[in-house]
């Protein structure tokens, strides 16, 4: 019961509404780009992905880094909730 009450106050994003409202502007922006500008965007995205993979396509390294970051965040949350429980319940 308390969980549902708390979640009512959490921020909510309506991504389908956002996409519907921005689709026309996005399409107009893309239509306004020259071929060279479109290729530059594609090239930049490709280079970003290629550089993230590394020379040998090391996706495992990135996955490991993300996993370690997630674990560290989880440990910080557990520690914070433990402190909160001690403060609230003694």
Structural domain includes residue 7? no
Q: Which domain holds residue 57?
A: 13-89
Within-domain flag for 1: no
**Residue 72 falls inside a structural domain:** yes
Instruction: Give the C-alpha distances (Å, rounded to integers) separating 29 from 18, 24, 37, 65.
Output: 16, 9, 11, 35
Per-residue model confidence as pLDDT tens digits over 14-34:
888 888 999 999 999 999 999
Average pLDDT, the chain: 84
Residue 62 lies in a domain: yes
pLDDT for residue 8? 62
Spatial separation of the C-alpha atoms in residues 24 and 16, rounded to whole Å? 14
pTM: 0.41
Q: Is 6 inside any structural domain?
A: no
87 pLDDT more than 70: yes
- Say if 3 falls within a structural domain: no
Domains held by the chain: number: 1
Q: What would the mean pLDDT of 36-42 be, rounded to a whole number?
A: 96
- Model pLDDT, residue 1: 43
């Amino acid at each position: 019961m308390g969980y549902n009450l708390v979640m009512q106050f959490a921020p909510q994003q309506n991504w389908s509404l956002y996409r519907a409202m921005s689709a026309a502007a996005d399409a107009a922006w893309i239509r306004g780009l020259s071929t060279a500008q479109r290729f530059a965007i594609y090239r930049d995205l490709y280079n970003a992905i290629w550089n993230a993979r590394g020379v040998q396509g090391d996706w495992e390294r990135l996955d490991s880094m993300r996993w370690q970051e997630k674990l560290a965040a989880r440990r910080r949350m557990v520690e914070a909730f433990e402190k909160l429980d001690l403060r609230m319940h003694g």
